[in-house]
Amino acid sequence: MTQSSRRSIPAPPFTNAEIMRRADAIIAKYESVVGRDSIIESGMQFRDLYESVVYPDYEVEIVEGVELGVDDDGCKILGIYDVEANSAFIDVSIGPESGDPRRTFTLHHEVLGHGVLQGPWLRQRLAEEGRSEFIVTTETSLSPRTIQHLERQANAFAARSSAPPWLIDIAVFECFRPSKPFIYFGPSKYWLETYGVSRPYQVESLHELCRQIAFPIRRRFDGLSTESLAYRLAESNWVADRTRRIALQRVAF
């Protein structure tokens, strides 16, 4: 494929609101099939989501145990989505038995973000242009600008589908029973009551506070990494940053 042909393939023109709506629709259908009570009891299970909704509706194949190597910066490639084959390849290092916390987000990213959200649009685009190249979502097949756009979209979709807002709300409430949002005032010792037991945590940053909240509720999200869940909490209404507040002080005169 020539450089010019790579650059002619654009990313889908989805707005962030459209991406969120599509992710919510997938989870809503999953909920309608297995029941919300089942999800609450067992947590989000990618395998159930895949078998009940994703494969029947989108036929995205998952190919496990592949050695995907590293990228140009030497970073391990965890997953690749092949648009034409409609297949997601998952690196052997994060296989089903690996226990690697990166596996869950990678599956949501490759299978749902690239496969469900972008795959049909990209295949239609190729068909309209009469092209049949082997397209994968890596720099070797698309322009850097398009790759960045595709990755941002897939990340946004995966974040929403792997940790739906309503399930975050339930998990946080059941674990911490908070009466108000968690407030970050800056580096300090914070007391968090988890399942009725209060413990002190030395917290140095807003993200670290989100990590402390995320860790005990990970079981609800199919082993989603603490890092990924912490980012979702930071985007939610459960954590408020007060380090940038305007301070007014009364002085005598």
pLDDT one-digit tens code per residue, 27-63: 999 999 999 999 999 999 999 999 999 999 999 999 9
For 151-178, the pLDDT digits (tens) are: 999 999 999 999 999 999 999 999 999 9
Radius of gyration of the chain measured on its C-alpha atoms: 21
Q: Is the pLDDT of residue 134 over 60?
A: no
State how far the Cα of 37 lies from the Cα of 41, in Å rounded to an integer: 6
Average pLDDT rounded to a whole number, residues 72-100: 94
Q: Quick one: pLDDT band at residue 5, thresholds 50, 70, 90?
A: very low
Residue of higher predicted confidence among 142 and 232 = 232
Measured between alpha carbons, how far is residue 187 from residues 55, 63, 242 in Å?
46, 44, 12
pLDDT band at 2 (very low <50, low <70, confident <90, very high): very low
The predicted model gives 181-206 an average pLDDT of 94
Confidence of residue 252 (pLDDT cuts 50, 70, 90): low
Angular region, 183: left φ>0, alpha ψ -120 to 50, beta rest: beta
Mean pLDDT over 12-41 rounds to 96
Predicted pLDDT at 144:
74
User: In this model, does residue 26 exceed pLDDT 80?
Assistant: yes
Which residues make Cβ contacts (< 8 Å) with residue 135, sequence separation at least 6? Answer: 9, 82, 83, 84, 122, 126, 141, 142
Say whether pLDDT at 6 is over 50: no
pLDDT score recorded for residue 175 = 96
pLDDT at 143: 67
CA distance 159 to 156: 5
Q: What tens digit of pLDDT does each residue of 199-251 get?
A: 999 999 999 999 999 999 999 999 999 999 999 999 999 999 998 765 555 55
